């Protein structure tokens, strides 16, 4: 297991997961999200091959109501 | 004394409404009303408000996905990205770096949805949480970075004419001064500064879009802004928190139209004294003038 921080919360994560696999395991794989790792945006077409590493800080965001 | 700046309407009028098209960042809209999607009591009321207002563009915010969402409902179930152009904002960002990251995340989501609003952003970089007024230094920095990155940047700005000019010079697609603080309902409180901004930004560039963003309380505020010569109005709270949001959405639609038509019509000059509407000759009264 490795440790990653997702949306400000540190949590254990299986080693070697791609972004898609991580999102699936979190139940977050929707069309309306964007992912940032260590403050770098991860384009959607990279999610199936970019792997999450120990110590990564992820932001997983969606759209909400706002002005 | 005149209350509006001079501008010849340059676009074709819609024969049914008498209104001209609103062009911004490559989008063409019939409506000049941009609505926010926050603070509604329900998604259903929000959706109906958008329909009644006949808006074609709504703002949305980017926030962390909740690890456990009890309702499971997403705003996109109520806002059809194929019918409405979404304008993502960077609300809640207090420095240029965070605002730039937020803008990129919004773009990434909208690209995935194939929404035509993907390359634009309503850039908010706030100075403090009490006034929610922009930090002009960070705002300018973020504008420069985002313009370089290919964004169409619509800047939520204060009513400072110098800042407005600097934002335009930095490549902002539109400058959007606040009529008054966000959510305050105070309307247009510094008409003079706003008129200077309009004159400055439209000097030699009459089609440059300038939008009033924030502060609207009711329909007359919208009409006043449009009469001054603003190209559009962006508002949220005045509809979402009205006792009857759907009816207020309709009022805002008419406020925008009334104000735009009045602006295009060329208002009469203001005068300290009266000017009779009825003929002054042939009066039966013997009273001296």
Percent of chain A at pLDDT exceeding 90: 90
Identity of the residue in B101, B113, B236 whose CB atom sits nearest the CB atom of A39: B101
CATH number at residue B207: 3.20.20.70
> How many whole angstroms separate alpha carbon B241 and alpha carbon B70?
24
Whether the CB-CB separation of B37 and B14 falls below 8 Å is answered with: no
Q: Does B105 touch chain A (CB under 8 A)?
A: yes
Q: Which chain B residues are Cβ-neighbours of A57 within 8 angstroms?
A: none
> What local confidence, expressed as pLDDT, does residue B160 receive?
97
Residue B98 CA, chain-centre distance (Å), reads: 23
In the predicted structure, residue A51 carries a pLDDT above the cut 50: yes
> How many whole angstroms separate alpha carbon B231 and alpha carbon B227?
10
Whether the CB-CB separation of B226 and B259 falls below 8 Å is answered with: yes
In the predicted structure, residue B261 carries a pLDDT above the cut 70: yes
Expressed as residue numbers, the domain containing B79 is: 22-265
In the predicted structure, residue B7 carries a pLDDT above the cut 80: no
Q: Does B39 touch chain A (CB under 8 A)?
A: yes
User: Is residue B10 domain-resident?
Assistant: no
Q: At residue B14, what are phi and psi to the nearest 5 degrees?
A: -75, 125
As beta bridge partners, residue B173 has none
> What local confidence, expressed as pLDDT, does residue B82 receive?
82
> How many whole angstroms separate alpha carbon B225 and alpha carbon B191?
9
How close, in Å, is residue B235 to chain A by CA atoms? 7
In the predicted structure, residue B223 carries a pLDDT above the cut 60: yes
Query: Per the CB < 8 Å rule, is A65 touching B60?
Result: yes
How close, in Å, is residue B215 to chain A by CA atoms? 11
Q: Which chain A residues are Cβ-neighbours of B101 within 8 angstroms?
A: 36, 39, 41
Q: Does A64 touch chain B (CB under 8 A)?
A: yes
Residue listed under structure tokens 């030699």: B204
ipTM of model: 0.94
Identity of the residue in B36, B62, B74 whose CB atom sits nearest the CB atom of A67: B36
Least confident of A39-43, B136-140, B183-187, B285-289: B285-289
> What local confidence, expressed as pLDDT, does residue B97 receive?
97
How close, in Å, is residue B63 to chain A by CA atoms? 5
Please give the torsion angle defined by the CA atoms of residues B231, B140, B162 and B154, in that order, rounded to the nearest 10 degrees.
Answer: 0
Query: Per the CB < 8 Å rule, is A66 touching B61?
Result: yes
> What local confidence, expressed as pLDDT, does residue B66 receive?
81
Looking at every residue in chain B, the average pLDDT score rounds to 91
Looking at every residue in chain A, the average pLDDT score rounds to 94
- Which residues touch B232 (CB under 8 Å, ≥6 apart)? B22, B24, B32, B33, B34, B209, B211, B212, B256
Q: Does A38 touch chain B (CB under 8 A)?
A: no
Please give the torsion angle defined by the CA atoms of residues B232, B237, B243 and B245, in that order, rounded to the nearest 10 degrees.
Answer: 50
Q: How confident is the model at residue B14 (pLDDT cuts 50, 70, 90)?
A: low
Top residue of B50, B78, B105, B211 to mutate, by most chain A CBs within 10 Å, is B105
In the predicted structure, residue B1 carries a pLDDT above the cut 90: no
Q: At residue B199, what are phi and psi to the nearest 5 degrees?
A: -60, -45
Segment B76-132, tens digit of pLDDT: 889 988 889 999 999 999 999 999 999 999 999 999 988 888 899 999 999 999 999
| pLDDT (average), residues A15-41 | 92
> What local confidence, expressed as pLDDT, does residue B2 receive?
47
Q: What residues of B act catalytically?
A: 122
User: Is residue B83 domain-resident?
Assistant: yes
Q: Does B63 touch chain A (CB under 8 A)?
A: yes
Segment B145-195, tens digit of pLDDT: 999 999 999 999 999 999 999 999 999 999 999 999 999 999 999 999 999
> What local confidence, expressed as pLDDT, does residue B12 receive?
56
- Which segment, B8-12, B20-24, B198-202, is predicted with the most confidence on average? B198-202
- Decide yes or no: CATH 3.10.20.30 for domain A2-62: yes
> What local confidence, expressed as pLDDT, does residue B289 receive?
57
Percent of chain B at pLDDT exceeding 90: 80
Q: Looking at the 3D structure of chain B, how many domains does it have?
A: 1
User: Is residue B276 domain-resident?
Assistant: no
> What local confidence, expressed as pLDDT, does residue B11 receive?
54
Q: Does B62 touch chain A (CB under 8 A)?
A: yes
* DSSP codes, B103-158: HHHHHHHHHHTT-TTTTEEEE--BS-TTT--B-HHHHHHHHHHHHHTT-EEEEEE-
Searching chain B, which residue's CA lies closest to the CA of residue A7? B64
> What local confidence, expressed as pLDDT, does residue A30 receive?
78
Q: Which chain A residues are Cβ-neighbours of B236 within 8 angstroms?
A: 66-67
């Amino acid at each position: 297991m490795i440790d990653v921080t997702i949306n400000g919360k540190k949590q254990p994560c299986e080693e070697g997961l791609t972004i898609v696999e991580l999102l699936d395991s979190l139940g977050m794989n929707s069309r309306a999200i964007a992912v940032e790792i260590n403050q770098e945006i991860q384009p959607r077409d990279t999610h199936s091959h970019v792997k999450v590493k120990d110590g990564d800080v992820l932001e997983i965001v969606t759209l909400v109501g706002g002005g | 004394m005149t209350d509006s700046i001079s501008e010849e309407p340059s676009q074709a009028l819609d024969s049914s409404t008498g209104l001209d098209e609103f062009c911004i960042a490559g989008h063409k809209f019939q409506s000049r009303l941009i609505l926010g999607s926050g603070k509604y009591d329900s998604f259903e009321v929000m959706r109906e408000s958008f329909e009644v207002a006949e808006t074609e563009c709504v703002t949305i915010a980017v926030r962390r996905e909740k690890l456990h969402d009890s309702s499971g409902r997403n705003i996109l179930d109520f806002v059809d990205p194929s019918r409405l152009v979404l304008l993502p904002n960077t609300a809640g960002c207090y420095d240029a770096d965070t605002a730039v990251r937020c803008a990129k995340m919004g773009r990434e989501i909208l690209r995935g949805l194939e929404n035509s609003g993907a390359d634009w952003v309503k850039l908010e970089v706030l100075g403090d949480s009490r006034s929610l007024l922009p930090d002009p230094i960070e705002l300018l920095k973020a504008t420069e970075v985002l313009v370089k990155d290919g964004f169409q940047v619509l800047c939520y700005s204060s009513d400072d004419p110098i800042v407005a000019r600097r934002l335009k010079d930095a490549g902002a697609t539109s400058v959007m001064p606040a009529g008054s603080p966000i959510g305050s309902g105070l309307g247009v409180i510094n008409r003079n500064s706003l008129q200077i901004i309009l004159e400055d930004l439209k000097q030699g560039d009459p089609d440059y879009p300038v939008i009033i963003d924030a502060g609207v309380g009711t329909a007359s505020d919208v009409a006043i802004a449009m009469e001054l010569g603003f190209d559009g109005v962006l508002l949220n709270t005045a509809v979402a928190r009205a006792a009857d949001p759907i009816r207020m959405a309709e009022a805002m639609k008419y406020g925008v139209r009334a104000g735009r038509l009045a602006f295009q019509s060329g208002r009469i000059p203001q005068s300290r004294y009266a000017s009779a509407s009825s003929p002054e000759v042939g009066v039966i009264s013997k009273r001296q003038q």
